[in-house]
Amino acid sequence: MLSLVDYRQENMPRQESPLQSEMVPGTLDMLILRTLLLSPAHGQTIAQAIERGSHEVLQVEHGSLYPALRRLENRAWVASFWGTSENNRKAKYYRLTPEGKKQLVVQSSRWDELVRAIGRIMKPTPEQQG
C-alpha cells in the first residue's frame, strides 16, 4: 500500500498513516508508470525509487506494489520479462509500453488538474475570496 510516513514516528515501527485511506485512487499506478519511464526495473527498484524520490515520505508496501504491477500488465501499460538483478538473482523486470506512456500523460494531466483545484481552495486568490 502507498502510505505517508509520519515524521514524528520515524524511530517507531512503520504504521499506516491516517491519510492512507485518503490517497487518490490510481496514485500508485501513476508513480509506477513514471518510475518506469526512466528505464525498466524490478519491483524492489521501483519501490525504492518512489521512496527515495519522495524523500521517504511515501512508502510502497509489497502487498500493494505487486498487485498494481499485475494490474498494469493486464492493461498492457507495462510488460514484464525475466532478467538478472544487481545481486545476480533471477528477477522479474517491468518496462513501460507505448500504451503505458500514453496513460502516464493522461494520468499526469488529471493529477495536475487535481492539484490546481485543491490549491485554489487551500490558497484562494483575493478575487476568489470575494
Please indicate, yes or no, whether the overall pTM of this predicted structure exceeds 0.85.
Answer: no
Which residues are within 8 A (CB) of 32 and not within 5 positions of it... i.e. 6 or more apart?
Answer: 46, 50, 65, 68, 69, 72, 78, 94
CA 4/CA 101 separation, integer angstroms:
26
- Under DSSP, the state recorded for 20 is G
Can you give the residue ranges of every domain in the chain? 2-6+25-129
CA 116/CA 102 separation, integer angstroms:
22
Which fold, 2-6+25-129? Arc Repressor Mutant, subunit A (1.10.10)
CA distances from 32 to 46, 73, 80, 119, 121 (A): 7, 12, 13, 24, 28
Q: What is the pLDDT of residue 130?
A: 62
pLDDT digits (tens, 9 = 90+) for 44-85: 999 999 999 999 889 898 889 999 999 999 999 999 999 998
pLDDT digits (tens, 9 = 90+) for 3-21: 544 433 444 444 454 444 4
CA 34/CA 96 separation, integer angstroms:
9
Of 109, 118, 113, 69, the closest CA to residue 92 belongs to: 69
Q: What is the pLDDT of residue 114?
A: 93
Q: pLDDT over 70 for what percent of the chain?
A: 82
Q: What is the pLDDT of residue 23?
A: 66
Q: What is the pLDDT of residue 1?
A: 54
Strand-pair partners of 42: 93
Q: What is the pLDDT of residue 18?
A: 40
Residue 72 CA to its chain's centroid (Å): 12
Quote the mean pLDDT of the chain.
Answer: 85
